[in-house]
Structure formats: structure tokens, C-alpha cells
Structure 1
Amino acid sequence: MKQNAVLRRSPAGAKPLRHRFAGALSRYRWFYLMMIPGLLYYVVYHYIPMAGMIIAFKDYSLGKGIIGSDWVGLDNFRIIFNSPDFYELLRNTLLISLYRILFNMLPDVLLALMLNEVRILWFKRLIQTVTYGPYFLSWVIVYGLAVAFLAQDSGIVNYYIRELGGSPVNYLASNDYFRPIILLTDMWKNTGFGAIIYLAALATINTELYEAAVVDGAGRWRQLWHITLPGIRDVFVLLLILKIGHIMDAGFEQIYIFLNARVYEVGDIIDTWVFRRGLEELEFSIAIATNLFKSVIGFILIIGANKVAKKLGGSGIW
């Protein structure tokens, strides 16, 4: 008892823990008050709805409610994994997500590096505005632009193909062109936003490093390789980890808008299938079970990616 009392005793001159906590709470009270709306948002819309995951283990009925619905255990997961379409959906989801990671992260970095070299301020701001503007467009508008360019009968591209004596191509309903169109439109819409993140990281690099490199005789390429790229490495790894954690999503809104029956073979993903089963066919249990499966896979991937990043010398997320 005496030993425990000694361990709990504060160092000489130090205030008790409860007094220090109360002092910090009083000192930073306005910061804590500003945190409350954000915390309430996550509690109400992200944590409380987690109670609904129990539907994944029940034969949910709107009439009986969550509590009254019959318990079926893992039957919903067996239905998902035994579905003839599931593995095709999984393949499409993973391929589209991997293509996004491989081909849509590098343009963000390249645009940021090019803008970082521009010394004419008004020109730099103009390019940032032009490239960042598409980020604010909805996917419905982007699809409308894609139709204006690629429609088989009235698209601009097919107009010139016909003028040159060729046969028009139905790009939006072709298995060969669907994924490239998804990647290109996603790149056009989001590259400007991604570049801003890297520009913010570039602004934190100590300019004295570049001055020292110039004194040592390093050219622009040497400065880029030894100073600039290492300076944004942690941000790149962080965004990569987050994208790996969402690898099972593949961008529902974009895919759902661009999708049509002719490209289901290459474009139908887990989220669009869940939308049809859950909301159109009212099979809520199947939909929740599928999303729970996705969440578990995403959690495992983000934990694994974070550990790999730390082993390779990065900072990771935590």
C-alpha cells in the first residue's frame, strides 16, 4: 500500500493530474468548443449507424424491424460468396482501383512539380484555377461532357471520324474503352485537387537546402531527386495508404453514372451491385453483409500498408 501511494504521489512542485487537466481544459476551451460540431458529426453519422451492422447477420424485414428480424448467422455471407457474379465484381473492383492508384497518383505529383517551377505568379495561378476547376463539377456534368465528345451519333470525336471516312465507334458502350474512359475522366476531374496537396507539401521544404545544393554545384534535376522528391515522400505514402484502404470502393458515383448494361462485364463493381440488391431489390441484409466484408478487407489493407510504409522508412499514418 505504501509503495502504491508513493507511485501515485506527484513530483515535488507538480500539480495533481486533475488540476492540470482542468487548467488545460480552461485554457483551450474555445478550441474544444470548435471541435464539438465535428465530433458530433462523426458520432451521429459514422459511429451510431454501426449498430445497424447486426442486419448483416439477420434476415432483415422492414415490418419486423432490426430486433424482430430472424437471426441467420453467416447465411448472408454464404449467399454473397456463392453468387456467380461475385468474383467478377471483385475482379472489376480491384482492377479499377489499382488502375486509379497506378495511373492517377503520378499526374498529381507531376503537375505539382511543374507548377512549383513556375516563377510567373499570375500564370501559375491561372494554371491552378484551370486544373482545379473540374474538381467542383459533379459526375453527372462530367458524363454529359463525355457524351458530347464520345457519343456514337452526335459526339465530336465520331463526327471527325466520319468526316475522315471511318466508322463511328460507340465508346461509352464498349468493353474495350470503358475503363480507359473512367480513368481519363477521373484524372481530368481530380488531378488539380491532388496537385494542391503536393504543392502544400513542397511549400514546407526548407529553401536553405536548395541554396546549399546550388553552392555544391547541383543542377535542377539533382535538386529534384535529392531534395524535392524526398520532401514530398511522406505525403505521397500517406495518400497511397489511404487509397489502399479504399481499394474496395472503386468510385461508386462515377461508375454508376457511366455504367450501362453493355459494359457490365468490365464495369460492374461491388458497390453498384450492392445498390441494385439493397435499394432496388430491397435485400438489405445482403447489402449490409457485403459492405461489412468490404470494411474488414479495407481495415486489414490499411493496417498492412501502414506497417509496410514504416518498415520502408516512412512515417505512416500513426
Structure 2
Amino acid sequence: MASKIQPSDRIQHRFASKSEFWGMVRKYKALYLLSIPGILYFIIFKYVPLLGSAMAFQNYNLFKGFWGSDWVGLEHFKRMFAYDEFITIFKNTLLIGLYDLVFAFPFPIIMALLLNEMRIVLYKRVLQTIVYMPHFLSWVIIGGIAIGILSPSTGVVNEILSWFGLEPIYFLGEESYIRSILIGSGIWKDSGWGTIIYLAALAGINPELYESAVMDGANRWRQTLAITLPSIFPTIIILFLLQIGNFLDFGFERVYVFLNSLNADKGEILDTYIYRAGLLEKQYSYTTAIGLFKSVVGLLLIMLGNTLSKKTTGDSLY
């Protein structure tokens, strides 16, 4: 018969746990002190602003505040889905996010594999520095460079087209090009930085695996398929899940620098619409409802992706 735990034993265990906890705090106090700024950042800028989500269920009045504004329930959410402009912008966001996932996400993987095959270390380091340098430039600078390159009068692209007798194209003035420009500029800016993560994962692969593969007669392509890709697959899955969680967060600055009245029909996304309707037109409650909708969709996508990944590959975020 199992012995019963006496109340005195529970109390003793509780005090022992507390003493162990404070002992760990004293032992690693330097690490806990270093973590305080990060914890404060998430509390102040991530958790406290969640209280503002209440605006989505109110007709928020700037002078009355949260407590004095009238509650309207789901009225703004109903308006959101009944508004034709929102449906168009939501479709743009989905398509641009999908294109980014299909074309931009694999690019750092390919680049990391190519850099990993280089045997001249100096050349490899110089090239790696060049490709991730644009990450440190703001989107305003990236946008200015891209607009200059694509200029119909002085741009390099149109100069090349003129060599073949083709008419210059005003790329930012035609809505059919805006999505390609957004995806291409994102690849140029961020793919080099993403490559660093995959190169770190590649550095952790046991060299003996490649030596054994060479002895078995495997060429470089076969080694990549049988050793390299499976070894970095957990890293790919984690980054893919994080990308899915930010599927609707394409980025305000990334789009706004290229947006104009000629390409807005195909280029405007939820972030730029929230800026226009929320800050410029002062529709605070309506745009808060859109922001809350984005967050819920992102949460559902990352939960769904995590569940599918755990069942199919065994790798997951949690």
C-alpha cells in the first residue's frame, strides 16, 4: 500500500523548492540582471499594448479614453469584411505573403549551400560580407536605390532594354510589376542575413559523414541531398514556422517606400492600409480591429503549422 504524503512533508518540500529557487537566482544573478532589459522590453512594448485591443470593440474617442468610449461589440469586424476595399487589400497581402514564402524563403538556403561549397576562405568571407551588407540599410535607402535602378529615364534596367531597341518601362507606374519589385527588393536586402543562420547550421555537421560518403562514391550533389539538407532540416522547419507566423506582417516600410497611386491597387497591404485609415483618417477602432484580426490569423497559422510539423517531421517550436 502506497504511503501517504503528510502535510508536514508538503510544507517542507515547498520551502525546499523556494530555497532552491533563490539559490539559483543568487548563483546566476549576473545572467538574470542581463535579462532584465529584454524582459522589460517585452512587457512594455509587447504585453502592455495588448490592452489597446479593447479599442476594436469600441467607438474609441480620443478625448474620452478607454473607459468613456462606447462599446459596439463586433461592429468593426463586420464592417471590415463588408468593405470591398478591405477585401482587395487582404487579397494583396495574402498573395504578396505567399510569393515571399515561395520565392524569398528558399533563397538564403540556396545561397548558404553555394557559399559552403567554396574552398577559398578569403573569397568566401568577402562574398558573404557583400551579400549581407544590405541588411544594415534602411528601407528608405533600399527603396531609393531600387527606384534609381528602375527609373524610366536614367535607370540601369531601362538602359539595358534600350540596347535591344525596347521602349523604357516605368516599373513603379505599372501595377503589374509592384509585387515582383517588393519580393525582389526583400531578397536583395535580407537573404544575405538569413544565410548566416544556415551557414552556422552547416558548420555543425560532422565532417566524418562526408568522408564516409566519399568512400562510398557519393558525388557533391548526392552528399548535399543525403547529408547536408537532412542535417539542416530542423533549422529550416523552425524558420519556416516563424515565417508562417508573420505571414500577414509583410512590413509597412518595405511597401510604403514603393507605393504610389499608380500601383496601389496591387501593392497596398494591411500594414499600409492601417496607417492610412488609422493615423491619417483617424479610424482608430476600425484599424485596431484589423490589427487584432492579423494577430489572430498569425497565431492560428503558427499553431497549425507547428502541429503539422510535429506530426510529420518531429520538429516543432514547442
1:94 is aligned to 2:112: no
The Cα shift of 1:312 comes to 1.1
Match of 2:6 in 1: 5
Identity %: 43
Preserved CA contact (<8 Å) 1:94 1:250: no
Q: Any gaps of 5 or more consecutive residues in structure 1?
A: none
The Cα shift of 1:142 comes to 1.3
Preserved CA contact (<8 Å) 1:57 1:285: yes
Q: Partner letter of residue 101 of structure 2?
A: I
> Mean alpha-carbon deviation: is it higher for 213-222 or for 298-307?
213-222
1:44 is aligned to 2:29: no
Q: Partner letter of residue 49 of structure 1?
A: P
Per-residue CA deviation, residues 32-67 of structure 1 (Å, 9 max, x unaligned), is 111111001100111111111111111111111111
Q: What secondary structure sits across from 1:217 in the alignment? A: coil
The 1-side partners of 2:156 and 2:226 are apart by 45
Preserved CA contact (<8 Å) 1:237 1:314: no
Match of 1:257 in 2: 257
The Cα shift of 1:160 comes to 4.1
Per-residue CA deviation, residues 161-199 of structure 1 (Å, 9 max, x unaligned), is 345443221111112211111111111111100111100
Match of 2:224 in 1: 224
Q: How many residues align?
A: 314
TM-score by length of 2: 0.94
Per-residue CA deviation, residues 247-303 of structure 1 (Å, 9 max, x unaligned), is 112222111111111112211111111111100011110111100011001000000
Q: Any gaps of 5 or more consecutive residues in structure 2?
A: none
CA RMSD of the aligned region, Å? 1.8
Match of 2:143 in 1: 143
The Cα shift of 1:145 comes to 1.2
Match of 1:58 in 2: 58
The 2-side partners of 1:237 and 1:163 are apart by 44
TM-score by length of 1: 0.94
1:314 is aligned to 2:314: yes
Per-residue CA deviation, residues 41-100 of structure 1 (Å, 9 max, x unaligned), is 100111111111111111111111111111111111111111111111111101100101
Q: Partner letter of residue 204 of structure 2?
A: T
1:244 is aligned to 2:251: no
Q: Partner letter of residue 222 of structure 2?
A: R
The 1-side partners of 2:206 and 2:164 are apart by 54
Q: Partner letter of residue 317 of structure 1?
A: L
Match of 2:171 in 1: 171
The 1-side partners of 2:204 and 2:162 are apart by 52
The 1-side partners of 2:163 and 2:27 are apart by 73
Q: Partner letter of residue 275 of structure 1?
A: Y
> Mean alpha-carbon deviation: is it higher for 287-296 or for 25-34?
25-34
Residues 163 and 127 (structure 1), Cα distance of their counterparts in 2 relative to 1, 3 Å cut: closer
